[in-house]
Amino acid sequence: MAVIPIKKKTKKTWLDQKRSPSIDNKIRKSLWYSILDASFYSAMLGFGESFLSAFAVFLRANNIQLGLLGSLPQTLGSLSQLFSERLLKLFKSRKNFVCTSAFLHALMYIPIALAFFIERFRVEFLILFVCLYFIVGMIAGSAWSSWMGDLVSEEKRGSYFSKRNTIAGLVSFITLLLGGYLLQISNGSKLEQYIGFAIIFTLALLFRITSFIFLTRKYEPTYNFQQKNGFSFFEFIKKAPSNNYGLFILFLSLMNFSIFIAGPFFTAYMLYDLRLNYLIYTIVLSAAIISKYLSMPTWGKLIDLYGTKKVLTLSAFLMPLVPLLWIFSPNVIYLIIIQLYSGFVWAGFETSSFTFLFDTIIPQRRAKYIAYSNVLNGIALFIGALLGGVLVRYNNLFWSKYMLVFIVSTILRYTVSFIFIPKLKEVRNVEKITYPRLFFSVINTMSSRGLIYSMLFFKKKK
């Protein structure tokens, strides 16, 4: 007999209490514009950011350079958020700050594409402008999170963001496949290959501009700037182990350190060691994307019903297995199956992590503390990637020099989960459920959705 969850009343936030019908209408439109923004942003990712590592391989980057490309830009982008509060006060609006950042973000594809024409320092030039790309793209991230936190009510966050991410993910999946196809059909001479990259980077620029246009149409609730808005960065680090959101941010930072020991080297493993062509490489990447975004609505609904802690715990013990699975076979079908599993568990981990930050940080401190979180994550992933680069360079234990980082990353991910997950606390009043029931709820819902999609597909064919 199915158990019907009882919805509990949630306390209205300060924003909900002040809403008028006209503001409600603006918020509804803004949430739709946010989905359109996310869709065009994801198209940019599919055509552009997803192929930055492949472009570096095309320019003959070595493993150290690939490690830097996979970590240094995100680290500098994260560190830039230490200045985001001052810039937010300068712009006097989260919306103005975010929109300016988005426009500059789009323009960075111009120098990135021109890296091919630099004679001696192509890869270094690429790394420089990818760093700027991440800085202008991430510097307003905490302001965007604060803005969206005011637009989406607490009881709908899981379902809304999972829906938004699902639509965006499908767009990313389609554009990633198209990008890989364009690269594959231009896979001739050096110049022909470059033309393929230039085309997809131009498309990425245009889609980011479109994303920017939808950002400008969104409504921004009033934001109160406070003189004293929480701790300084170093005070925050000092007090982090003594509170729920601080422990969670430390957990994410150490998890990112563990992830990025292996993270920057999957592309190199596929293109250098397995010698996959661009189309097969893209198919392997896209398997994770389609699995991730198809499963996000399921994870989101479970978060709304059973809380972020439960879903975070389950996914934090399923996700660390991913890099270890890569060592058992280079078969493409096997890699696609791994990627399907990877996308599924990453959907739960990312959705629950994102929601947990909103749940545990009050609106007035959200922008600052999310910025602090991103700074710590950036530092952690940079150190992790450097360590991964050293392990790759000096590893002689396996047939592929990338195997060791996959194993080490798995061990460290599990270690972080075992240490931190028991210390985190759920902050909502939610229904209780055991972990086995939660896991099988996800599987059953995903299976039912797959069956429905299959029936619709065959019905249309008839």
CATH of segment(s) 28-219+238-431: 1.20.1250.20
Interval 30-75: pLDDT, tens = 999 999 999 999 999 999 999 998 999 899 888 888 888 988 998 8
- Distances from the Cα of 331 to the Cαs of 265, 320, 339, 345, in angstroms? 18, 21, 12, 21
Interval 357-390: pLDDT, tens = 777 777 667 767 777 888 888 889 889 988 998 8
CA 364, CA 191: separation in Å to the nearest integer? 52
Write the CB contacts of 238 (distance below 8 Å, at least 6 apart in sequence).
none
CA 263, CA 388: separation in Å to the nearest integer? 9
For the chain, the domains span 28-219+238-431
% of the chain residues with pLDDT over 90: 39
Interval 193-248: pLDDT, tens = 999 999 999 999 999 999 999 999 999 887 766 655 556 778 878 888 888 888 99
Write the CB contacts of 97 (distance below 8 Å, at least 6 apart in sequence).
84, 87, 88, 91, 140, 143
CA 372, CA 357: separation in Å to the nearest integer? 12
Write the CB contacts of 9 (distance below 8 Å, at least 6 apart in sequence).
none
pTM over 0.75: no
CA 55 to chain centre: 20
Q: Taking 90 as the threshold, does the pLDDT of residue 323 lie above it?
A: yes
Interval 105-119: pLDDT, tens = 999 999 999 999 988
